[in-house]
Structure 1
């Protein structure tokens, strides 16, 4: 049976099978802040990485409480802005962490770098999308060991809503952007293996003011 969870800016819609579902008001009790600051805004959930976390590709997300995801589909709309004090290397990092274990020290993640999508430099464009697996496979390790395998290009920009859909099946994850029928990234060897499961997080990194809305989760 498929279970569908829909997190809207105004609340959470829970549906199972043919049930109509029920709604609950979205508030700070719905999400757990893990090394981030978060707030509920009119246009979605606002998430900013805690400045005390200096390393990249860390567990910095607003985690959906009581979520347990292994296989299925995660769809969410994201919007990324740069903080006023963001460095020149900030890229508007924003995405989704999934299969997060209870201790928040193991998970998979796919995120985007919106500033790279329309950069004049082709190499930067090629780094617009990123997969990483915490804790051992950060973006720099994957880039050094397997150049171009866990990153790809797609058109995107700051200050615009981008729909991310991640389809997860066993060892594989595919990212589809803005309703495209073809995936923008295919990861065929999720590092924690096919049996991993866990929570879902609204993930950001340094320099980002991130917004999330219309999160829909279909579990298979």
Structure 2
């Protein structure tokens, strides 16, 4: 670790529940954080995440491992949604986010494959907004699946953010116009959406 890097022990005591339920669980001999969305929350691309307490982030790198499964109660349109929110406002009413849809990756429908990764900005630029105004620009393909640990790396610099998966040298998704602007800053959250049983570990934050 360098002076600019901060390793976060991904345990429930370090996070706050924002319309999710979370707990520490044992998985293959290690303790990881399990997060599920509060089922009373309607809609998708909402503020549903475990928020890292006492951390402020603007520019730099967020690196962690995520794994998602479908809950027994998951609706048909569940995709294993899991990801990261960043630059989260104090009241949780504004943030940027990347998430993934692992079930889409190996689907036989090409359009769904093209929607394996997603950028959205809360509250006014969710996935359906981007599909209406900029089809295909804020989504992309990646080869991933359910029930496997996936390394997510998000590189943020001013109004640009890039998503890397599984140590690939090139990003799978590039966003050059973060909707809350270049100078926004805030907290980091571990995001899940409808039907997902999400697991998180090995979070490292590097600030520019």
- TM-score normalised by the shorter chain: which range applies? over 0.9
The alignment partner of 2:146 has SS state of: coil
Distance 1:81 1:203, change over 3 A: same
The alignment partner of 2:179 has SS state of: coil
Q: 1:55 aligns with which of 26, 31, 43?
A: 43
2:97 aligns with 109
1:7 aligns with 8
State the shift of 1:211 in Å: 0.2
Whole-angstrom distance in 2 between the partners of 1:31 and 1:59 = 14
What whole-Å deviation, never above 9, does each CA across 1:16-63 have from its counterpart, x for those lacking one?
Answer: xxxxxxxxxx3x331000000000112311000001111100110000
Whole-angstrom distance in 1 between the partners of 2:91 and 2:6 = 22
State the shift of 1:119 in Å: 0.5
The count of residues paired between Structure 1 and Structure 2 equals: 203
2:124 aligns with 136
What whole-Å deviation, never above 9, does each CA across 1:67-92 have from its counterpart, x for those lacking one?
Answer: 10000000010000000011111000
Whole-angstrom distance in 2 between the partners of 1:75 and 1:8 = 13
State the shift of 1:3 in Å: 2.4
Whole-angstrom distance in 1 between the partners of 2:207 and 2:17 = 23
State the shift of 1:2 in Å: 5.4
Whole-angstrom distance in 2 between the partners of 1:193 and 1:128 = 25
What whole-Å deviation, never above 9, does each CA across 1:173-217 have from its counterpart, x for those lacking one?
Answer: 000000000000000000000000000000000000000000110
Q: 2:165 aligns with which of 173, 177, 200?
A: 177
1:32 aligns with 16
Give the CA RMSD over aligned residues. 1.1
1:198 lines up with 2:186 in the alignment? yes
What whole-Å deviation, never above 9, does each CA across 1:90-126 have from its counterpart, x for those lacking one?
Answer: 0000000000010000000000000001111110000
User: TM-score when scaled to structure 1?
Assistant: 0.90
Q: 2:146 aligns with which of 148, 152, 158?
A: 158
User: TM-score when scaled to structure 2?
Assistant: 0.95
Whole-angstrom distance in 1 between the partners of 2:39 and 2:68 = 17
